Structure 1
Amino acid sequence: MPPSHEADSIVDDFARFVQASPSSYHAAVEVAERAVEAGFTWLEESEDWPGGPGKYVVVRDGAVIAWVQPEASGALPVRVLGAHTDSPGFKLKPTPDVRGNGWKQASVEVYGGPLLNSWLDRELELAGRVATRDGRVRLVRTGPMLRIPQLAIHLDRGVNNDGVALDKQRQTQPIWGVEAAEGDLAELIAARAGIDVADIAGHDILTVDTQPPARFGDGAVFLASPRMDNLTSVHAGLRALLDAPSDAGHISMLAAFDHEELGSNSRSGASGPFLEDVLVRINEGMGATDASRRRALAASWCLSADAGHAVHPNYPERHDPTHRPAPGGGVLLKVNANQRYASDAVGAAMWARACEAADVATQPFVSNNTIPCGSTIGPLTATRLGMRTVDVGVPLLSMHSARELVHVDDLVGLGLAVGAFFAMHD
C-alpha cells in the first residue's frame, strides 16, 4: 500500500470524481475529459480512427471505453477493466410534473434496485441529459432541488415496529415546490441547460443525492459516498489506465458500461455491441486478420470490477459462515458456482498474481446458499466475446443505498491491483 499521504490523495480524487459524475452520462464524459487531459485522443464513433499506436477514448451515451495501444502489427491481446457507470435511484418520467395538496412534485419511476428508504429525507438534485429538437445532447444538473419526505411518526405510530414499506408509485414522488408558484420542472431543466424549454425533445434524467463524500470513524478509515457501486471501479480503472505502460505486449483498456443495474441490455450496456465494436475497429486499424483477432481474444483477460458485500455486523447470519469479507481486509475475488460471477481457478490465480505484484491483500466473497447473489458484467463479457474473465471489487456496506460505505484501504487497493493487472506482461 502507498504512504498515507498518497492514499489520502487517491481518496480525495475519488470524492471529486463522484461529485463530477452525478449520472452515467456525466461519468462517461468525466472519464473522457480526464483521459484527454492526460494525453488521450477523443474519438467519435461516426468518424475514421487512426490505426497506429496511441492513447484513445470514445463515449457512447453513458458508456466510455479508453485504451492504450502499443506499436504492433496485427492483433494484440487486450486486458480490459470492465465496470459500469450507472447506479440505482429514480428516473424522471416523460411528463415530469405532479401538482396537488399544495405541493409541486416530480413524477419518477424506480431505476434499478435502490434501497428505497435510504432516499427519504435527503436533498436531491436532478442530473442527466436532454436532447433538443435539432438532435444535440446537453448534460444538465440542477443542484439541490428535491426531497422525498418521510411520514411523521405521529401519523404512523407503528413505523418503528413494522418498518417502512413504500408504495413505489404513491410514496416515492419527491417534492420540489409549492403548488401556487409558477413554473414547472421542464422550465427549470431547460434553464439549467441554457436552452429554451420548447427545444427539449426528450430527457434521460435521474435523482441524485447531493451530500458530498465524507470520511469518518476511528482514524477516518471509512468513506461514505453516493454511487460507490460502481464508481469505485470506474475510478480505479481510470487511474490505473492513465499510468499503464505502452510496452506490456497487450492493449490496456477501461470499458465502463451503462445500464448494468437494469440488466445491461442496451446499446451502451455490457450485453450490447460497444466493446466488440471497439475491438473490431482497433484490430482492423492494426491490419489484423479475423483468425489473428480470435487468437488474441483467446489470450486476453477481462477484470470485471464491481462492488461486493462486506460482512454486516448487525446481520452476520446473512453471509456465508466461512467467507466473511472484512473492512480493510482486501479487495474481493467474487466467486459463484452458478456463474453469476465469471471467476474460476485460472482467473483466481491471475488475480492472486496481480494483488501480489501490487502488495495488496485480497479476500474471497461467496454468498450464503440461501441468499442468491446478484450478477455483473463479467459473465456477459465472457459469453459475448469468449474472453477469460474474473470478477473482483471492493467490499461495501449498504450497497444500493443512496449512501454507501467503504474502507479506504480497500478503495486504494483496488486501483493498485488494477494497475498491476495492466502492467503484467503476457
Structure 2
Amino acid sequence: MENVAQKPLSKAYCWSVLVLFSLLFFLITAATFTSLGVVLPSMIEELGWSWTSAGFGFTLLGLACGLSSYVPAHTIRKFGVRITLLLGMVILVAGFTSLYLVETITGYFIGTTLLGIGFSFVATVPGTFVLSRLFEKQSLIFGIYFTVGGLGGVIGPAIYFLSINVWHDWRMHWAICGIALLLTLIVSMFVIKENHAEKQHADLISSLKNDDSKSNIYRSEQIWTASGALKTWQFYVIAAAYTSFLLCGITVNSFAVAHITDHGFAAAVAASLLSAQAFINAFSRVGGGILGEFIEPKKLLIISLTTILIGMIAISFANSWLMLMLFTVGIGVGYGMTFLSTSILLTNYYGRAPYLELFSVMNLISTIACFGPLVAGMIKDSMGSFSSAFLLYAIIPFVILIIVIFMKHPRQKEVSNTDISMATKI
C-alpha cells in the first residue's frame, strides 16, 4: 500500500484538468472583460443609458474581481476546490441571467458586479492553485493555461457577432456565455479529485523539484507561511509589477483606439493593432512558460517590464508606423510575460503552501489598476491628449524594473532542519 500511495496521478487526469481549467479561463475571459465593451453599444442603444452610467459597469466589474479575490482562497482552504467552483457557478449564473434579462441600469450594475466576483471564483485563483499541484514543469503549464485564457480575449467579441448575425439579439451573447460556463463548471466539478491521492501527488511533484540539483532556477527550500511572506518586501515588488502591467494594459485597451485616431490613423488600423496585440499577449505567455523552464523567472520579469516600458513610450507618441509597431509588440509581449513571471516568482520564492493566499492578495492589491482609465481620462480632458497619461504610467514599470534588477530572493533568518524537510508539504 505504501508504494500505491506514492504513485502519481495519471497523466491523462492531470492533462484533462489542465484542459478544463484552461477552458474555464478562456470562457470567463471571453465573456467579461473583452466582450463587454463590444456588447455595450447595442445595450445602450436599446435601453437608452448614458455612456457615463454604462461605463461605470466596467469599473464595477474590475473592482468586484479584485476585491473579491481573497474570498475563493478562503473557501478553497476551508471547503475545497469543488465547492469553490460550485459557488462560482451560482454567482455566474445569477450574473449572466441578470444581464440577459436586464432592463434597468441597476440590473446592469448587479450583473457586472456578479461577473467580477464569479471571475475570482473560477479563473486564476483556483486554476493556478490546482495546476501547481499537478505538474512538475509548472512554468510551461502556467504558460499554456494563461495562453488559452488570453485567447478568450480574441474570441470574446466573436460571440457577440454570432448572436447578432444568427439571433439578431445581443442578449443571446450573455445566454451563450452563461450556458457554456455552466456546462464546463459542471464537468470540472465531477472530474476534479480532492482526496489523499491528490495530496500525495502534490507532495511527490514538489519532492521532484527539490531533488533537481542541476536546475539553475531558484526555488526556495524554506517553509513559508502567508503571514511570513507578506512581511518581505520582495512580495510587494512582485505585486507592484503585477499591478503595473494591469494598469498599463487596461488604460491602453480603453483609450489606444481614440489616441491613435487622434494622430491621423484610421479606426480600423487602431482596432487591428489591438487585435494583433491580443494575439501576441496570448502566445507570449506560452513562450515565456517554455523559457521559464530554463531561465530564471526574475529575468523574464525584467524583459517583460522593459517591453511594457517601450510600448508605453511608443503609444504616447503614436506618430509613425514604427511607434505603432513598437507599441503593439511591447505591450503584447510585456503584458503576457509579466502575468506569467509574477505568478511563477510567487511559487519559486515562497513555495506552494502559501501560494493561494499570496496570489489572492496580489490580485487584491492590483485592484488599484482599475482607476487607471479614470485618471487618464481626466488628463485627456485637462490637457487635450492621452500622451501625458501614457508617459506618466510608463514611469511606474520603469521604477519597478530598476528595483527588480537588484532584487534578491527572500530568506528567513531562522529555519530549522525540520522546517526545510517540510518545505514542500501543504
* TM-score interval, normalised by the smaller of the two chains: under 0.3
Provide the TM-score with structure 2 as the length reference.
0.27
Greater helix content: 2
